[in-house]
Amino acid sequence: MILDAGIPDDLWEEIKSAYDTLCDQYGHEVDVAVRSSATAEDLPTASFAGQQESYLNIKGYHSLKEACSKCFASLFTDRAISYRVNKGFDHFDVALSIGVMKMVRSDLASSGVIFTLDTESGFKDVVFITGAYGLGENVVQGQVDPDEFYVYKSTFRDGFKPIIKKNIGKKSIKMVYGKGESKMVTRNVEVPESDRNVFCINEKEILKLSEYAITIEDYYSKKLGKSQPMDIEWAKDGTTGELFIVQARPETVQSQKDTNVIETYILEEESEILASGKSIGDKIAAGKAHIIKDISKIASFKKGEILLADTTTPDWEPIMKNASAIVTNKGGRTSHAAIVSREHGIPAIVGTGDVTENLENGQEITVSCAQGETGYVYDGKLPYKVQKQNIQTFKKPKTKIMMNIGNPGTVFNNSRIPNDGVGLVRLEFIISSMIQIHPMALIHPEKVRDKDTLAKIKKLTYGYADYEDYFIEKLAEGIGTIAASFYPKDVIVRFSDFKSNEYGSLIAGEYFEDLDENNPMLGFRGASRYYSENYKEGFGLECKAMKKVRDLMGLRNIVPMIPFCRKPEEGKKVLDIMERYGLRRGLNGLNVYVMCEVPSNVLLIDKFSSYFDGFSIGSNDLAQLTLGVDRDSSYLSTNFDERDEAVMKMVSMAIKGAKRNKKYIGLCGEAPSNFPEFAEFLVKEGIDSISLNPDSVLKILLELSSDGGDEYPKKR
């Protein structure tokens, strides 16, 4: 009816006149975007994402008039009516206007979406940018797996360049202008393989977009008198190279959540992984898979089923809210499927590649988004549990409660748990999962003789300045993400503590490791590696990554720590090498700690104190070496116990020795996570901090909170 009514002549004359003005400015039959803007859109509690239509690359009077009519009529499509009913809006209280805007030639460059918080955890101290080649419609609709970038706000404001994370997307297609006289105003084309494997914008552009986003957020926050995270669209003009902001609206999901309640989903069993992709949210759901390849089939979908689709558009919305989970082949964290699933509190996995081809209708599956950035589809209905905890009930103990962290993908959520920082960052996880290649192979690729192994290395490092730069950037991003999540609290980062066999399992590791070492646990590990000719250059890469995090990103809350340092003289040698790479103890407030896990660390703690600013007790290794027990031996498992009298005495001696020398001392082993009585013992001994696995923090806090009374400061 609205399309048939057409546009009144007087209004059309005004539109024509304004279009003529644009043509005078930009040239004959200028290309424009005809964009809808309804009064009910972009509200704090309802995004109305994609409910009304927009049209791109519109040229000439006829096409402009037709696009405007369609834009007005889109207020009354089935999907728009359904959405308003679901959200409780009166259909005739909603008005719609149209913005006619000169097209940014991002078809010749790139475009995407920015959020001024992390869309999965609600962590507010980052700018999250997604981008892909071509017009932005593919990113918004989830047709493409985009690049992702995270910039840390606090140190960015101080003048640093804290790009803490970069993930490369597949970017397999891009939307460009249609050809010649064709009625097809836009079309999708394939992106060459060489372009897919490089980021769609450079670091300078990432930082410029972050500056724009922070400025926009600050403006609206000041206007509203409260923090207002924003959802922003951007585009780069391929002709001029300019960056444009084309839309800004309030973020409507994470900013509305109750941040005082922590809800934790825990998968109790695992099975065969059927698919994986980017996790949206942190929940788990189990049920029957329902594959829909054509929108005409959505009426067959039943409430509680798990929706599997190539991608989703606003037309799918009537059934999406009834799904227990959503899994798509395509899309990124800012796609339509991701936005809607967050709004409805439904777990989703996007960008799986081929989930609709590999599963069957009615197949029972479990969708888990509770294991970090990667979401998994498991075979069968698996048991899981949900824990809820109001963090306002916790008091701050006198002893600092810190966390042990390995996976940077979970830290934004973990930072919400009441804490005093990170007592142990394990670089081993970052190296094995994010880097995968032995560091010495990146320095000396000429020693790698297998062609297939060299091909793997080239593929993983594609797009980086050189092999070494790949290692430094990836490691710095992992450390930087963790440091930013807990800033300005201390984040103690242990240099890599792989054993020879573990280093050997990295790509090309067999060329640089003695895989026949008789006892790797007591062998070539820790400090002895760092000054050895066999690994000294590899340690240099770790030092360069640490320096980048501190000096380029501005995250000077990281505290480097040296593991398995057998003698004070070893510590001195390692400190000398660190200084050569710009990590001089005392420079810009740099403290350096050492692990206290070898009995010699305890017995000679006065000598070690002259070289280091603090100690962290590794209860696992200290117990093993005190008792002479291989903790991994099934024959001796009953003899390995950190609560053994001899071990407790060693721990007590270490604490007293550190206090005597006025040095910091904490404990980062498994014992207090497993045994609350061990945590109580540490508190009585006067230890400065206890570092726990994240899933143990709340339990131990409840045990210890009676000895304190202060409330934890609320998260920024």
What's the pLDDT at 258? 65
- Residue 48: pLDDT band (50, 70, 90) is very low
| 294-298, 511-515, 633-637: least confidently modelled range | 633-637
**What percent of the residues of the chain are helix, what percent strand, and what percent coil, each to the nearest 5?**
40, 25, 35
Report strand pairing: 54-58 vs 32-38: antiparallel
**Which amino acid, 87?**
K
475 backbone dihedrals φ, ψ, rounded to 5°: -70, -40
What's the pLDDT at 465? 86
Same domain? For 180 and 310 the reply is no
What's the pLDDT at 714? 53
Same domain? For 538 and 620 the reply is yes
Task: Inform me whether the pLDDT recorded for 531 exceeds 50.
Answer: yes
Same domain? For 565 and 525 the reply is yes
| 138-142, 202-206, 609-613: least confidently modelled range | 138-142
Mean pLDDT (whole number) for 218-241: 94
Task: Inform me whether the pLDDT recorded for 183 exceeds 80.
Answer: no
Sign, CA dihedral 654-655-656-662, equals positive
Residue numbers of the domain that contains 340: 261-388
Same domain? For 276 and 232 the reply is no
| Average pLDDT of the residues of the chain | 90
Q: Which of 336, 438, 565, 596 is catalytic?
A: 336
Mean pLDDT (whole number) for 560-578: 97
The answer to whether residue 716 is domain-embedded is: no
| Helix H or strand E encompassing 23 | helix 9-26
Task: Inform me whether the pLDDT recorded for 50 exceeds 60.
Answer: no
* CA 189/CA 387 separation, integer angstroms: 46
- Residue 691: pLDDT band (50, 70, 90) is very high
Q: What is the CATH number of the domain that holds 210?
A: 3.30.470.20
Domain finish residue from 67, 102, 137: 102
Domain finish residue from 372, 388, 404: 388
What residue has token string 């280093």? Answer: 503
Task: Inform me whether the pLDDT recorded for 476 exceeds 60.
Answer: yes
Active site residue 336: yes
CB half-sphere exposure, 229, CA atoms < 13 A: 24
The answer to whether residue 715 is domain-embedded is: no
Task: Inform me whether the pLDDT recorded for 713 exceeds 60.
Answer: no
Beta bridge partners of 367: 285, 377
Task: Inform me whether the pLDDT recorded for 61 exceeds 50.
Answer: yes
Report the domain count for the chain. 4
User: Which of helix, strand or coil describes residue 372?
Assistant: coil
Q: In terms of pLDDT, which residue wins out, 316 or 285? A: 285
What's the pLDDT at 670? 75
The answer to whether residue 632 is domain-embedded is: yes
What's the pLDDT at 656? 97
Same domain? For 362 and 437 the reply is no
pLDDT in tens, 382-437: 999 988 777 766 777 889 999 999 889 889 988 988 899 999 999 999 999 899 99
pLDDT in tens, 111-121: 999 999 999 88
The answer to whether residue 368 is domain-embedded is: yes
Cβ(331)–Cβ(138) under 8 Å? Answer: no
Same domain? For 84 and 118 the reply is no
| 256-270, 504-518, 578-592: least confidently modelled range | 256-270
| 79-83, 170-174, 498-502, 642-646: least confidently modelled range | 79-83
Q: What is the CATH number of the domain that holds 407?
A: 3.20.20.60
What's the pLDDT at 585? 96
Same domain? For 436 and 557 the reply is yes
* In 383-500, beta strands by DSSP E: 384-390, 395-396, 400-405, 422-426, 491-494
Same domain? For 490 and 632 the reply is yes
Domain finish residue from 44, 75, 102: 102
Cβ(596)–Cβ(622) under 8 Å? Answer: yes
The answer to whether residue 518 is domain-embedded is: yes
Same domain? For 224 and 337 the reply is no
Same domain? For 697 and 580 the reply is yes
Task: Inform me whether the pLDDT recorded for 696 exceeds 90.
Answer: no
What's the pLDDT at 28? 87
Q: In terms of pLDDT, which residue wins out, 342 or 645? A: 645
Same domain? For 42 and 74 the reply is yes
What's the pLDDT at 715? 45
Same domain? For 127 and 93 the reply is no
Q: What is the CATH number of the domain that holds 294?
A: 3.50.30.10
Mean pLDDT (whole number) for 168-197: 86
The answer to whether residue 50 is domain-embedded is: yes
Task: Inform me whether the pLDDT recorded for 43 exceeds 70.
Answer: no
Q: In terms of pLDDT, which residue wins out, 708 or 680? A: 680
